[in-house]
Chain A
Amino acid sequence: METTSKDKRFTAELEKNIAQIKRELGDSVDLVKRNIFFVGNRKVPSVLFYIDGLASVEHVEKVIDAMMYEGNEFIKRNELMISDLQTLIEQHVLMNTSFSMIEEVEKALIAILSGDSILFVDGCEKAFHIQTKGWDTRSVDEPQTEQVVRGSRDGFTENIRTNTALVRRRIRDPELRLETMSVGLRTRTDINIAYINGVVKKGLVDEVKKRLNAIKIDGILESGYIEEMIADSPFSPFTTVMSTERPDKVASALLEGRVAIFVDNTPFVLVVPTYFWQFLQASDDYYMGFMAGSFFRIIRYIAFVISLTLTSIYVMLVSFHQEMIPTPLALTIASGREIVPFPVLLEALLMEITFELMREAGLRMPKPVGQAVSIVGSLVIGQAAVQAGIVSPFMVIVVAVTGISSFAIPNYSASYSIRLIRFPLLIASGSLGLLGFSVMFALLAIHALSIRSFGESYLAPATPFQPNDQKDTLIRFPWWAMKKRPQLADGDTIKLGAHQKPKPPNKVKNPLEMSKDNQEESGEKNSEQKDKSKDESRDTSDITGLRRWKKKSGSNKGEKRKE
């Protein structure tokens, strides 16, 4: 915007200010200008600017009401002096709304464009910036891309404030910090950075801010823009920034010492730094029992390996290393392949591409034609293709299993990066056999090992191996066994109090003695409750929970010794 400059300030003359605003905004049709006469013992002309559709009509009306009718007796009685006008309005009129005073034209313009109203009062050098934001938003809904069986069903919306509130609702810690900035020369998109002070590693927040500040782009329409602009290795097929629709995922990431980047107008929130294994971990893992969670997580790891390598291994074996196939299987494969006119590699590419086509078509097509596509699709990848002699039945199975496995990966961006990697792997193994496969796989592994996500090793905690973090990688340990935060967190690393493993109560004694014991126990309980209430009263003075735990665990130990 060349016409605006930050130095420009408002003047005391109303007409000039109006002209200024109108000039800057090009007198757009959606710019609403409302003339209000402030009623005191004399009428003072004032003007309210806002953008139709962005500002909430209710809010605006409230402001107008206040300005026109609710001028109280005090104002009416007293002589209206120009010099007092500003203070008068501040202190006696605009009581129902939050507002601030601004001087610069630039700020006023941004305020108007983001849905707030600007009120000019004749004779005031400053403008009133009144919060009237209130455009239509989608309600909080179930996330589309990351669904869970057990877990909260709320997902982020397009409204950044709703999104931060969803996270704030989960973490009521005063140490949860939100910082705002705007990126995009023309879009001026609001971006909020969230982190928990005292848990996040020092320097990480600065690094995130530095990278965000370095973005010079005219527009940010989705967090994908940010993701691409701040990623560590731009040419990597792996996604080094995780995006999620789930507030619980963001909250858990914050507790692990990560930084979340909220971008306005998108339900996808970015989380940095990201480890590769995070893409294979669903939030369900943490809500189901630890055994079920670990089991399904292992299944997902297997699914990852299958979706990455199965087609390549099949192609490699069938076209180069037939001796590695068990004999009965070799015969079966050979019998299926006898009528197929293409080499295996071509057959695999054909099927894989067909599958990708179907997936893409399924995503893009309008919902009413979905059935048609699925019927035709199942014919293409199915019995008909086999009967026509284009593909062998084995290839159908291989591609189908690969496809299904790729759906088991909970994060969509990870699943497409795996799909991307699959093709070079397939071509390499189809043209050089085991040699090609292993070289390509080694290259991929080297690449994955070498990339970083905000200074953190991408494959951590596998490499570099962090023993403590293994509790939450391949298998998930029960919550009461995960004592420490991941290595990533700094400062406040203990997240669990002492003696958290649940225990059954002591064995019940002789029933005849029960009644006695009950009495005693109830007495004990009472005393315990008293202790608890004491503790709680103490807790209110402690703000961080950890200090509380430390004290408690200390006292517990003392009690044990007494016993």
Chain B
Amino acid sequence: MKRANLLISIFFISLLLTACAGKREINDLALVMAVGIDQGSKDGTIKITAQVSRPGDARGQTGAPTGQSGETSWNVEAEGETIFEAIRNLTGISSRRVFWAHNFIIVINEEVAKEGIGHIIDFFTRNPELRMRTLVALTPDKASEVTATITSLEVVPGEALSKLFRYTDISTLAPHTEIKDLLAAYLSESTEPILARLSLEERKIDGLKPEEGAKVKQIELSGAGVFNNDKLVGVLQANELQGIILFRDKIESGVVVVACPKDPKSEISVELNKQTFDVEPMYKNDEVSFDAKLKATITVVEAGCPFSINDKKAIEQIEKSVEVKLKDDINKSIEKIQKEYKADVLELGKVFQNKYPYEWKSMKKDWTNIFSNAEINVSVHANVESGSLLFQPTISGKEERKEE
């Protein structure tokens, strides 16, 4: 009992000595929601744009209103020789302590990325305050502009950016890249990093003056940037990406548009769902090759021509054309990264290493070459499972009359 008393009193005394060390109130923090990294005005400098949310305006304040400006975020820039210096310079502007743990996204300008993002990866993984699940994206535009663009749907722009990535498994317009994936790819012997791209396009019509045709720029997902080591080497547009995403991410559904079985002018849309994708590495006669098998069940979601799920022949035809189309798509994107960029963003090296660990040892030095010359056989097997809710074709009654 005496010892317990002593322990407890020591504990309380130590509480008094700490003077609340490390304490910082949440309202004394500048919560950074998005970071943009651009080239600085001088050569070799770097410009950081931090988007700090203004909680009072972002979430509405109860109680006495204080200095609300209506803007939900406060975008500030600071420059420095290194990222850390730039961030330190931010503190000279910010009245609150800059707090990074809630950062949604890091947007890197492509010019910066071409010169290498090694130091960016290092900084954002070394800092304990930053989360490893922060999204990373590239942009051909100014990163500062991208982070500051206001969407009308979300209150805080950074939040809107991160939410764009929430449904990448349906849209397949960009890969979902988090900083931990980037780090893993960067550290990997074989895999090269790939980053999602965001671009600014005039997409939104200005609600105040629509008759003038005034448009507002919006951020959209647009493909991915392929890296070689830490340098950006090329860009895959959104339409080239589906094949790559099938390799890397688990996608929930994708859309393929093919011609109608009977009427080549009309189009039929099918939705991919429940696909399995297997990559099997092969090593024969000192040749590396990969067998990629995609098995997909597809659903007909939109038929521009009369189509019945009972029509076996039509289904076979659809399956075939989907297979051809998908195979084509995948082969095209593979060819681009294999021959043009020579960057193994498909994690094929990892797959190979797992199966042939001994052979890998001798090959890893020359992997880039081996990868770019490796044969990748893609086989697609599609299976139409249902026609969504409709079993019978939707035909206008008048058409039917004509046919009869």
Physical interaction between A and B: yes
Within 8 A of B (CB), among A324-383: 325, 327-328, 330-340, 343-345
Question: Would you call A162 an interface residue if the criterion is a C-beta within 8 Å of the partner chain's C-beta atoms?
Answer: no
Q: A343-B25, A447-B4 are in contact. Are A331 and B58 (CB under 8 A)?
A: yes
Instruction: Answer whether residue A478 sits at the interface, using C-beta atoms and an 8 A cutoff.
Output: no
Chain A hits for B11, CB < 8 A: 428, 439-440, 443
Residues A387 and B62 in contact in the complex (CB < 8 Å), given A335-B55, A343-B23: yes
Known: A323-B129, A339-B61. A331 touches B55 (CB 8 A): yes
Tell me which residues across on chain B come within 8 A of A387, comparing CB atoms: 62-64
The B81-116 residues at the A interface (CB cut-off 8 A) are 99, 101-102, 104
Given A428-B15, A433-B23, decide whether A443 and B7 contact each other with a Cβ distance below 8 A.
Answer: yes
Distance in angstroms between the alpha carbons of A427 and B20 in the assembled complex: 10
Q: Which residue of A335, A344, A428 is within 8 Å of B59 (Cβ)?
A: A335
Residues of B within 8 A of A388 (CB): 63
> Of B26-34, B278-286, B294-302, B332-340, which stretch is located at the interface?
B26-34
State the CA gap A327–B104 with chains docked (Å). 9
A407 at the interface (CB under 8 A from B): no
A-side contacts of B33, CB under 8 Å:
327
Q: A residues within 8 A CB of B258? A: none
Contact A339 B159 (CB under 8 A): no
**Min CB distance, A315 to chain B, in Å?**
10
A123 within 8 A of B: no
Q: A338 and B101 in contact (CB under 8 A), knowing A323-B131, A430-B20, A431-B18? A: no
Task: With A334-B55, A335-B61, A432-B18 as known contacts, state yes or no: A319 contacts B7, CB within 8 Å.
Answer: no
Smallest CB separation, A491 vs chain B (Å): 34
Contact B1 A386 (CB under 8 A): no
* Contact yes or no, A334 B27, CB < 8 A: yes
With an 8 A cutoff between CB atoms, is A393 at the interface?
Answer: yes
Asked if B60 CB lies within 8 Å of chain A CBs, one says yes
Please determine whether B55 and A332 come into contact, CB atoms closer than 8 angstroms. yes
Looking across the interface, which residue of chain B has its beta carbon closest to that of A440? B11
Max chain B C-beta neighbours (<10 A), residue from A327, A334, A336, A436: A334
Knowing A323-B129, A340-B27, A343-B23, the reply to whether A335 touches B15 (Cβ < 8 A) is no
Specify which chain B residues have a CB less than 8 angstroms from the CB of A335 in the assembled complex. 55-56, 58-61
Cβ distance A441 to chain B, nearest Cβ, rounded Å: 12
Is A331 a contact of B156 with CB atoms below 8 Å? yes
Q: Do A393 and B131 contact each other (CB < 8 Å), given the known contacts A319-B26, A334-B31? A: no
Q: Contact mask A414-452 → B, CB, 8 Å, 1/0?
A: 000000000000011011110010011001000100000
CB of A319 within 8 A of CB of B25, answer: yes
B306 to chain A, nearest CB (A): 48
Query: Which among B18, B63, B156 has the highest number of chain A CB atoms within 10 Å?
Result: B63
Closest residue of A by beta carbon distance from B8: A443
Minimum CB distance partner of A427 in chain B: B15
Q: Which residues of B contact A340 (CB under 8 A)?
A: 27
Q: Within the complex, which residue of A235, A343, A436 is in contact with B15, where a contact is CB–CB below 8 Å?
A: A436
Asked if residues A386 and B102 are in contact (CB atoms below 8 Å), the reply is no
How long is the Cα–Cα vector from A345 to B18 in the complex, in angstroms?
15
Residue A134 at the chain B interface, CB threshold 8 Å: no
Judged by a CB distance under 8 angstroms, whether B24 is at the interface is yes
Contact size range, B: 35 or more
In the complex, whether B69 has a CB less than 8 A from a CB of chain A is: no
A431, B56: Cβ atoms under 8 Å? Answer: no
Q: Which of B1-52 contact A (CB under 8 A)?
A: 1, 4, 7-8, 11, 15, 18, 20-27, 29, 31, 33
Q: Which residues in window 432-482 of A have CB below 8 A to B?
A: 432-433, 436, 439-440, 443, 447
User: Chain B contacts of A336 at CB under 8 A?
Assistant: 61-63
Given A335-B58, A432-B18, A443-B8, check contact A319 B24 (CB 8 Å). yes
A332 to B25, CA, bound (A): 14
C-alpha gap A389/B62 in the complex (Å): 9
Q: Say how far A385's CB is from chain B's closest CB, in angstroms.
A: 9
Q: Are B131's CB and A338's CB within 8 A?
A: no
Measured between alpha carbons, how far is A327 from B32 in the docked complex, in Å?
Answer: 10
Bound complex: CA A445 to CA B119 (Å):
46
CA distance A427 to B15 in the complex (A): 9
B101 contacts which chain A residues (CB < 8 A)? 322-323
Docked Cα-Cα span, A345 to B15, in Å, equals 13
With the chains together, A339 CA to B15 CA distance in Å? 28
Q: Nearest residue in B to A446 (C-beta to C-beta)? A: B4
Name the residue of chain B whose CB is nearest to the CB of A383. Answer: B62
Q: How far is the CB of B380 from chain A (nearest CB, A)?
A: 40
Of the listed residues B20, B25, B26, the one surrounded by the most CB atoms of chain A closer than 10 A to its CB is: B26
**Given A330-B26, A339-B66, A389-B64, A322 and B156 contact (CB-CB distance below 8 Å):** no
29 A-B contacts, Cβ less than 8 Å apart?
A318-B26, A319-B20, A319-B25, A320-B24, A322-B26, A323-B102, A323-B131, A330-B102, A331-B53, A331-B58, A334-B31, A335-B56, A335-B60, A335-B61, A336-B63, A338-B56, A339-B63, A340-B27, A345-B20, A386-B62, A428-B15, A430-B20, A431-B15, A431-B20, A431-B23, A432-B18, A432-B20, A439-B11, A443-B11
- Enumerate the 9 nearest inter-chain pairs by beta-carbon distance, A residue then B residue, closest first: A323-B101, A335-B55, A334-B55, A337-B27, A335-B59, A327-B102, A332-B59, A318-B26, A331-B55
